[in-house]
Amino acid sequence: MAKVLGKGLEALIKNYSQDNQNNQTNISVSDIITNQHQPRTHFNKEKMNMLIESIKEKGIIQPLTVRKNKKNQFELIAGERRLRAAKAAGLKSVPVFIISIDNLAEMMELALIENIQRVDLNPIEEAEGYLVLKEKYHFTQNQIAKSVSKSRSEISNKLRLLKLPKKIKEALLQNKIFYAHARSLLSINNISIMINIYNQIIKNKLNARQTETLVKQCQNIIPKTKDKKAYQFLKYEQVLQNILNTSVIIQFNDKSKGNIKVQFKNKKELDSIIKRIKG
């Protein structure tokens, strides 16, 4: 397996096919069972509809990849989206590559590689796939990195996403926030503050750079002694942000004196903030 990792399905198909010249054929969609090791669990409805319409018009251009299991069933290795779209489009049969592979860890590996190379997996799905390789098949992070042609640090960062609160993981899965947002949030150790910042991202539609700035600002005002007063000011920030519908930063000194910074992008937004202040 090592000599073809990261080289694409063509190399994988050639490596695992018993007959490289005649390994492509058509089989009935009813004869294909789904891959229980499929890393993708969320399918974008809009993109799926586009794929369905494309298949109705032009058919399936890139064959699915399957293997024949011990029960003589055709088990899907790569092509979950195409199979679903083919069924929705009313196709009775689909083109497939049949490859010979028995190792379940390698099946998971191929499914991951296929998804990453074709249509980017959602970061949470990708992380869950890596976790299966790590926990169930005892891959090291270095081995996973080699398998999908990514750096070890990238694998480590993706796995860390699984430690996020459920609310944030679901938002990432549904593309309400993106990987860059999540990476910034991971640097916050306090869950309540992390949720607070996440709510600000959603409400104020913060981009990745704005989120990173907000996280750094929060880290600067949270003393290592975990002074409750510091956390209280974060709560006040949230209240003001909800009222003014913009980013608000409260800065204070040891005597609890300070100032409030209200951010705006242009004069129109400033006028809107002033109107909200006037009530």
Per mean pLDDT, which range of 85-99, 215-229, 252-266 is the poorest? Answer: 215-229
pLDDT above 70 covers a percentage of the chain that reads 74
- The residue behind tokens 């980013």 is 247
Quick one: pLDDT band at residue 163, thresholds 50, 70, 90? very high
27-63 tens-digit pLDDT: 999 889 887 666 566 677 787 888 899 899 888 888 8
Across the range 201-220, mean pLDDT stands at: 85
**40: number of Cβ within 10 Å:** 19
- How is residue 205 annotated by DSSP? T
What pLDDT was estimated at residue 162?
92
What pLDDT was estimated at residue 6?
38
What pLDDT was estimated at residue 131?
85
The pTM assigned to this predicted structure is 0.58
What pLDDT was estimated at residue 92?
92
Q: Tell me if residue 26 falls in helix, strand or coil.
A: strand
- The residue behind tokens 């109705």 is 56
Task: With beta carbons less than 8 A apart as the criterion, state whether 263 and 247 touch.
Answer: yes
Quick one: pLDDT band at residue 224, thresholds 50, 70, 90? very low
Across the range 242-265, mean pLDDT stands at: 78
DSSP string, 76-92: EEE-HHHHHHHHHTT-S
**165: number of Cβ within 10 Å:** 14
Instruction: Identify whether 80 is a catalytic site residue.
Output: yes
Across the range 99-107, mean pLDDT stands at: 70
Across the range 197-210, mean pLDDT stands at: 89
Q: Tell me if residue 28 falls in helix, strand or coil.
A: strand
Mean pLDDT of the chain: 78
Which residue in the list 10, 46, 57, 80 is annotated as catalytic?
80
State how far the Cα of 128 lies from the Cα of 6, in Å rounded to an integer.
19
Of 260 and 242, which is predicted with more confidence?
A: 260
Amino acid identity for residue 19 in this structure: D
Q: Where are the domains of the chain?
A: 2-121, 174-278
Per mean pLDDT, which range of 54-68, 69-83, 220-234 is the poorest? Answer: 220-234
State how far the Cα of 16 lies from the Cα of 8, in Å rounded to an integer.
13
Task: With beta carbons less than 8 A apart as the criterion, state whether 173 and 182 touch.
Answer: no
For residue 32, what are its two tokens? 């294909």
State how far the Cα of 64 lies from the Cα of 3, in Å rounded to an integer.
22
117-137 tens-digit pLDDT: 555 668 888 888 788 778 877
Across the range 133-143, mean pLDDT stands at: 84
Contacts 24+ apart (CB under 8 A), 271-278: 272/245, 273/244, 273/245, 273/246, 276/243, 276/244, 276/245, 277/244
Q: Is the pLDDT assigned to residue 10 strictly greater than 90?
A: no
3-state helix, strand, coil in the chain (%, to 5): 55, 10, 30
Quick one: pLDDT band at residue 18, thresholds 50, 70, 90? very low
Quick one: pLDDT band at residue 198, thresholds 50, 70, 90? very high
**269: number of Cβ within 10 Å:** 14
What pLDDT was estimated at residue 152?
93
What pLDDT was estimated at residue 112?
65
Task: With beta carbons less than 8 A apart as the criterion, state whether 269 and 246 touch.
Answer: yes
What pLDDT was estimated at residue 19?
46
Domain 2-121 matching CATH 2.60.120.620: the answer reads no
Across the range 136-157, mean pLDDT stands at: 86
* Phi and psi at residue 248, to the nearest 5°: -125, 135
